[in-house]
Structure 1
């Protein structure tokens, strides 16, 4: 069975569950090797304060079968305008079997010009920004368009991972992985989408997240201008 190389781009301020939900799924089969990629091998701190240790640098990274970009907090703005990272993603996309993302990671792919003309998704609060970067936004949990696979907000990384694993290793392996994880969610509240949560929950959350949204809007406009969109 051929080794499958899967790489997650991690960076300061990355959303840890964007990485770890999919990582947990994709690391299960014995023929997958998962890399955590950054500019250096020094530990970095996620948006939530968890320390992550890269396993390979951008320069050392092998040719990947799958490249995945997770979303992040305020620091993601810096990633979206970092030519070294954007060029790395462009280069890997030339040979990768799948080019993928979780949550707002799709905006990094889009900033690199890798989602122009592709159907894609992201966290519900950032769909308009993703559309500005040339993607055809589809409000689904996981969206597949040719070799682009994108997951919606944070927890969708598990669904994304199982979907991708089914394509890489077959449905039986994906089902076995789901069973191993006992992934049969029964959330205590019906508040996982804006429609279910209602205005009384959405309003305060949007106000809480306004600094992040404003920063993303500013960078989205800058990235769209560079892409001549």
Structure 2
């Protein structure tokens, strides 16, 4: 591949890959909960949610694109190497074993598998599903050179199709009408939505996901720094677009 060549066949899969990185369990459950709480103030609530839940993570990806480095420490290195390493470790722990990773398996099990199991299998169902879930995740992510193909060209389009079907079904067959907002969203829906956007934890993940995106781009043979910056920036914009539309 030519290092100075940018085309949609490369940009779109990278953007979808980054979108799927960000769109985890929290992204699936928090916006509907916000919508329920915001009621007929949903517009202002979602505007605040998208500012913190989409805009700030996008800035993180753009910052990594400007650094042109696949090392997440590089973004904070000018302050102090130890500080940079501490920030990276804390972000990795927060979006990894401490918070985000456990809920990815738990949410997908509760929303998609739990209702299909007989009562006698509920106790063993989650452990078995969790093992299967993370083995499959490991398979799709172990090879950086194939991660764009596995996630950007295969899993992300499937995810978007499933979400589109879900959204259409909700609009075609709604369960009710917009309700009155709860007190927090009645008084200040924008700022309450802004606070809720942090629950996705995407801001913490932005630097790490940005570095993974750069590494995946480099694995495609792209070494020109300017092209690297453009591809990573376009990927961030594509990911932000789909996140905002789905929210």
Normalising TM by the smaller chain, what interval?
A: under 0.3
Relative to the length of structure 2, the TM-score reads: 0.25
Q: Which gives a bigger RCO, structure 1 or 2 (Cα 8 Å, sep 6+)?
A: 2
